[in-house]
């Protein structure tokens, strides 16, 4: 058993200050505050983790394993994500795997050692974030959560889920303030929280996507089948009823050496 079930434990999740965006880490800032996710009301639907990417940006320092298995504070990064999902009352996870995915499946198995139910969707060739989701269509319930496999956060998921239902959205993206959107997707919201512009990795946006979504199967029906396709570039910019849930929760993308090394230093020093 690699980690014990966390259902009855207080989650030891540490946040980032607003200056903890990836560019700020690279310039030597450090998060100072501490928060925990508590008081979540009910079990949430399954979460899909998109963990099949090639991890090319991280390859110079993590080459022998998939990005989700990169060691952060001495443990595979995916464990930190699964702890966060458990703390937010998610009990079932669908892992979309591709590059070196057998390492992930061999390590986590059916998830029972983590008090989770884990099932797998496999890409024979790289399909991108949307293509991987479409590949998993037979495993998806009517509603579900989606998490990029390189996002670390302490975002409480219940308010995101509640907002998704209030908006009547096909998909609702968790968005956060940022000083630099060149490493992640830039977002523009109208007063009703509808996303009116989605610019993938362009500088200048005041809000960014956290890589966390609430969605319905209608989203998957709009994705071309069996070919590479990106949620951020090909689907979201044209999606009707796409909304944003604005949160001050901190997050970091570990998909670059700067983000990965900063998170490793932070969690190692904090004892997480």
Q: What is the domain-level CATH number for residue 110?
A: 3.90.550.10
Convert the pLDDT of each residue in 85-120 to its tens digit: 999 999 999 999 999 999 999 999 999 989 999 999
In a domain, 7, yes or no: no
Helix, strand, or coil here: 211?
A: strand
Rounded Cα–Cα distance for residues 260 and 71 (Å): 9
Place of tokens 């790289």: 126
pLDDT of residue 183: 59
The structure's pTM equals 0.81
The total number of structural domains in the chain stands at 1
Q: With DSSP H G I counted as helix, E B as strand and the rest as coil, what are the percentages for the chain, rounded to 5?
A: 30, 25, 45
pLDDT of residue 172: 98
Q: Which helix (H) or strand (E) holds 119?
A: strand 117-122
In a domain, 4, yes or no: no
pLDDT of residue 39: 40
Residues paired with 44 in a beta bridge = 90
- Strand 242-246 and strand 171-177: pairing? parallel
pLDDT of residue 56: 80
In a domain, 2, yes or no: no
Domain span at residue 32 reads 18-270
In a domain, 9, yes or no: no
Residues 58, 262 contacting (CB under 8 angstroms)? no
In a domain, 3, yes or no: no
In a domain, 157, yes or no: yes
Angle at CA 229, nearest 5°, toward 143 and 204?
Answer: 90
In a domain, 53, yes or no: yes
- Which are the catalytic amino acids? 201
In a domain, 38, yes or no: yes
């Amino acid at each position: 058993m690699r980690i014990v079930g966390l259902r009855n434990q207080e989650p030891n999740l540490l946040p980032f200050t607003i200056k903890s965006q990836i560019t700020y880490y690279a310039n030597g800032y450090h998060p100072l505050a501490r928060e925990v996710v508590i008081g979540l009301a009910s079990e949430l639907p399954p979460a899909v983790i998109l963990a099949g990417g090639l991890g090319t940006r991280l390859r110079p320092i993590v080459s022998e394993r998939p990005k989700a298995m990169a060691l952060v504070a001495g443990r595979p990064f995916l464990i930190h994500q699964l702890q966060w999902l458990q703390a937010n009352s998610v009990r079932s996870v669908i892992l979309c795997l591709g590059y070196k995915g057998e390492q992930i499946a061999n390590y986590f198995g059916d998830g029972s050692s983590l008090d989770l139910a884990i099932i797998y969707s496999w890409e024979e060739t790289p399909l991108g974030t949307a293509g991987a989701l479409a590949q998993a269509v037979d495993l998806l319930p009517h509603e579900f959560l989606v998490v990029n496999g390189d996002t670390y956060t302490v975002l409480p998921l219940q308010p995101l889920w509640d907002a998704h239902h209030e908006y009547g959205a096909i998909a609702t993206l968790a968005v956060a303030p940022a000083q630099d959107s060149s490493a992640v997707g830039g977002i523009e919201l109208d007063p009703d929280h509808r996303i009116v512009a989605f610019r993938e990795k362009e500088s200048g946006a005041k809000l960014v996507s956290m890589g966390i979504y609430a969605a319905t199967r209608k989203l998957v029906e709009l994705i071309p089948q069996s070919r590479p396709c990106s949620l951020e570039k090909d689907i979201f910019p044209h999606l009707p009823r796409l909304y944003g849930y604005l949160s001050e929760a901190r997050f970091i993308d570990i998909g670059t050496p700067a983000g990965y090394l900063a998170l490793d230093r932070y969690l190692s020093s904090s004892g997480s």
